Amino acid sequence: MKEKRNAPLAEAKPKKQKNSASPSKPKNAPKKTTSQPVNGKRVNSQNKTTGNKKRVLGAPKSNNKRVKRAPLPKLKIYSLGGLNEIGKNMTAFECGEDIIIVDCGIGFPNDDMLGVDLVIPDFTHIQNNIEKVRGVFLTHGHEDHIGSLPYFLKNMNVPVYGTRLTLGILENKLAEHKLLQNAKLHNVSVGDTVLAGCFKIEFIRVNHSIAEACALAITTPQGVIVHTGDFKLDTTPIDGEMMDIVRLGQLGREGVLMLLCESTNVERSGHTPSEKNVGVSLEKIFMGATDKRIIIATFASNVHRVQQIIDASINHGRKVAITGRSMVNVVNAAVRLGYMNVPEGVLIDIDEIKKYPAHKLTIVTTGSQGEPMSALYRMAFSDHDKVQLTDKDLVVLSSSAIPGNEPLVGKIVNEMYRRGVNVYHDSSVEVHVSGHACQEELKLMHALIKPKYFMPVHGEYRHLIQHKELAERMGMDPQNIFVSDIGKVIEIDEDGARFNGTVPAGKVLIDGSGIGDVGNIVLRDRKNLSESGLIIAVATVSIKEGILMAGPEIISRGFVYVRENEELMSATKEVTTSAIIHALEAGVDDWGELKNIIKNAISKFIFTKTKRKPIILPILMDL
Ligand SMILES: [Zn+2]
Ligand SMILES: [Zn+2]
């Protein structure tokens, strides 16, 4: 993979002695550079005048040699997702008339969000300031970083910047939402810098469980911010491209104002093992399974993992079939874009697997998280039209369950054991390594960047706090660490950094194709429905004449088994009848009001009898 080195670095002058000698001076002063970024894209031409030359060093007030100039615009940093939660990562940087956004991911619903498919960030603040938005910058192609973009771009078609693989995966999604044609996607090579308003964004290589993941160094008028994205340090990476620790160290030496660092694995000591370790384990598994068909489930986006599975298959004379929509999509994109090396004739169509004996086949599938309807789920429950599992199969779950998914994964594994399938799914065999930095790698990042301020990101509250403690152990001033929350604004100017105010932030729930139409009331109804069932009261009423013409009929679903509770049902019917008659006699002539009266009467009665609160649905027909 070619890597363009950013020109300004090569010419960066050593720091002025005067500056570095005094520890009291902030190291957030933007460095004067003389050359322009390589391959940069100027997004906002009217901002040309705020180029490097005009920038004022962010020196303390005591520096009386410096001519007093108008204060630089304040830098505001706020996350709309990814703090105190897993997923929907999204952080905005706002300075003067410019906003840039880093990532735009989805979250997954909690157990109490029944029937909700996805959770996206609340975009209100961005929407209200859309004329300032210069672009969305993507660190990598994982769902929790790019998944909300179709919903974002639908209303706010701003430029999107990312590496080739990231945009390749995004393109599939945008095509599904019919947004691809008008999308403004800009390919960025690792090492490139992009200009966007008063910001300068440099893409720096990191290792992660997807190829071409990047950290971003964002030069702002107040100083340089480093956002790590998701990362680990892999010294033996599959594509030979190690995290660019040299560049990160260089930035640290030049002075970084703030570090935003991911916190996923902060609870784990040591180092995250190299992806190569999985290759070694796979080799062992393949050697020991000479008479079996091997089925491996992993994340579709883990291109290097799939490559290693294909390599092991080739070594053992197996053909490889791919199943699961996202797996087929990603493998096709990765082969097309040159991220995967697959010799001719190795990949076969899933329809062709019958032509080959079990020991000559590997099947790579989605469903490693136990997702219902995924290919592996359908195999486990005999619902896959091409693959039936038997005791001739060895299944490898090359993944670890995302928090919350454990029961789903357990369900699938049990079902496969029931079919006599041999399953490898835990750490007794190293069939999975994490893509996130453990403590030692986090410490390395802090040591390289040496930021003035630090904000832990990408984690639940306990992760953020433990990351704060890690930074303190490394000598950081606790006052300079910002454990933030979504919507909270961190403001930075020449006088320092502080929390100052909030912007709207929260969860927008996506249910099928509806965006944000699932509110708390709908969720409460669904919860009641699943726990307490439903009672429907159907009646025909002439509201003009104030007469109950027919009914009410009482129908229940999921509430009580009617045959055993005929008494309760007929008593409910009586209560409903008298409620309707009383209301009509009292002159109620509004449908809504009448429905409410019926609802309340039934609800009160059922609760006194059963202590349960089913959903009550009155259906009134006019004559
Ligand atoms: Zn990731
Ligand atoms: Zn992530």
CB of 115 within 8 A of CB of 157?
Answer: no
Query: Is 13 a domain residue?
Result: no
Measured from the alpha carbon of residue 141, the closest ligand is 1
List beta partners, residue 162. 187
Considering only 53-67, 428-442, 465-479, 553-567, which range has the smallest mean pLDDT?
A: 53-67
111 C-alpha vs ligand 1 centroid, how far in Å?
A: 23
174 C-alpha vs ligand 2 centroid, how far in Å?
A: 20
210 C-alpha vs ligand 1 centroid, how far in Å?
A: 7
Tokens in use for 219?
Answer: 């030069």
User: Are 100 and 193 members of one domain?
Assistant: yes
- Other beta carbons within 10 Å of 432: 26
Half-sphere exposure of 53 (CA within 13 A, CB side): 5
205 C-alpha vs ligand 2 centroid, how far in Å?
A: 16
Tokens in use for 439?
Answer: 């403590």
493 C-alpha vs ligand 1 centroid, how far in Å?
A: 31
Query: Is 213 a domain residue?
Result: yes
User: 274: closest CA among 241, 296, 247?
Assistant: 241
285 C-alpha vs ligand 1 centroid, how far in Å?
A: 27
pLDDT tens figures, 37-65: 444 443 333 333 333 333 333 334 444 45
Average pLDDT of 426-453?
92
User: Are 227 and 286 members of one domain?
Assistant: no
Residue 420 identity: G
The pLDDT score that the predictor gives to residue 116 is 59
pLDDT tens figures, 3-31: 444 433 333 333 333 333 333 434 444 44
Tokens in use for 483?
Answer: 């454990």
Query: Is 589 a domain residue?
Result: yes
266 C-alpha vs ligand 2 centroid, how far in Å?
A: 14
146 C-alpha vs ligand 1 centroid, how far in Å?
A: 10
- Other beta carbons within 10 Å of 47: 18
The pLDDT-based confidence of 436 (bands split at 50, 70, 90) is very high
Of the ranges 387-401, 445-459, 522-536, the best mean pLDDT one? 445-459
Average pLDDT of 364-378?
88
Tokens in use for 596?
Answer: 């409410």
Burial of 131 (C-beta count, 10 Å sphere; 0-12/13-18/19+): exposed
User: Are 450 and 592 members of one domain?
Assistant: no
User: 275: closest CA among 330, 230, 234?
Assistant: 234
CB of 282 within 8 A of CB of 431?
Answer: yes
Average pLDDT of 158-173?
93
458 C-alpha vs ligand 2 centroid, how far in Å?
A: 7
List beta partners, residue 502. 488
Predicted confidence (pLDDT) at residue 354 exceeds the cutoff of 70: yes
Q: How far is CA 370 from CA 9, 377, 381, in A?
A: 47, 6, 11
CB of 193 within 8 A of CB of 35?
Answer: no
The pLDDT score that the predictor gives to residue 395 is 96
Percent of the chain past pLDDT 70, that is, above it, reads 82
Q: What angle do CA 416, 418, 422 make, to 5 degrees?
A: 50
The pLDDT-based confidence of 136 (bands split at 50, 70, 90) is very high
Predicted confidence (pLDDT) at residue 85 exceeds the cutoff of 70: yes
The pLDDT score that the predictor gives to residue 524 is 60
143 C-alpha vs ligand 1 centroid, how far in Å?
A: 8
Q: How many angstroms separate the CA atoms of 487 and 83, rounded?
A: 10
User: Are 481 and 383 members of one domain?
Assistant: no
pLDDT tens figures, 377-395: 999 988 888 999 999 999 9
The pLDDT score that the predictor gives to residue 67 is 60
User: Are 280 and 265 members of one domain?
Assistant: no
User: Are 263 and 280 members of one domain?
Assistant: no
Q: How many angstroms separate the CA atoms of 587 and 568, rounded?
A: 29
The pLDDT score that the predictor gives to residue 193 is 98
The pLDDT score that the predictor gives to residue 616 is 84
Q: Which SS3 state, helix, strand or coil, does residue 580 take?
A: helix
User: Are 406 and 482 members of one domain?
Assistant: no
Considering only 105-114, 172-181, 421-430, 439-448, which range has the smallest mean pLDDT?
A: 105-114
Query: Is 562 a domain residue?
Result: yes
The pLDDT score that the predictor gives to residue 66 is 55
User: Are 340 and 440 members of one domain?
Assistant: no
CB of 191 within 8 A of CB of 167?
Answer: no
Phi, psi of 24 (to 5 degrees): -75, -15
The pLDDT score that the predictor gives to residue 593 is 85
User: 503: closest CA among 14, 52, 77?
Assistant: 77
- Report the CATH number that the domain containing residue 541 is assigned in CATH: 3.10.20.580
Select from 509, 527, 547 the last residue of a domain. Answer: 509
- Report the CATH number that the domain containing residue 92 is assigned in CATH: 3.60.15.10
User: Are 401 and 460 members of one domain?
Assistant: no
Q: Which domain holds residue 533?
A: 519-622
Query: Is 325 a domain residue?
Result: yes
What is the pLDDT of the chain when averaged over all its residues? 84
The residue among 71 and 140 whose pLDDT is bigger is 140
User: 574: closest CA among 537, 541, 607?
Assistant: 537
User: Are 608 and 550 members of one domain?
Assistant: yes
Query: Is 62 a domain residue?
Result: no
The pLDDT score that the predictor gives to residue 403 is 72
140 C-alpha vs ligand 2 centroid, how far in Å?
A: 9
137 C-alpha vs ligand 1 centroid, how far in Å?
A: 14
Q: How many angstroms separate the CA atoms of 221 and 225, rounded?
A: 10
56 C-alpha vs ligand 2 centroid, how far in Å?
A: 35
Query: Is 358 a domain residue?
Result: yes
Select from 478, 509, 540 the last residue of a domain. Answer: 509
Considering only 232-241, 287-296, 553-562, which range has the smallest mean pLDDT?
A: 553-562
Edge-to-edge order in the sheet of strand 361-365: 347-348, 319-323, 361-365, 293-297, 393-397, 422-424
120 C-alpha vs ligand 2 centroid, how far in Å?
A: 14
The pLDDT-based confidence of 449 (bands split at 50, 70, 90) is very high
Domain count, the chain: 3
436 C-alpha vs ligand 1 centroid, how far in Å?
A: 8
Average pLDDT of 146-153?
95
- Report the CATH number that the domain containing residue 287 is assigned in CATH: 3.40.50.10710
Query: Is 68 a domain residue?
Result: no
Measured from the alpha carbon of residue 299, the closest ligand is 1
Select from 509, 534, 552 the last residue of a domain. Answer: 509
266 C-alpha vs ligand 1 centroid, how far in Å?
A: 15
User: Are 339 and 407 members of one domain?
Assistant: yes
Measured from the alpha carbon of residue 82, the closest ligand is 2
User: Are 502 and 545 members of one domain?
Assistant: no
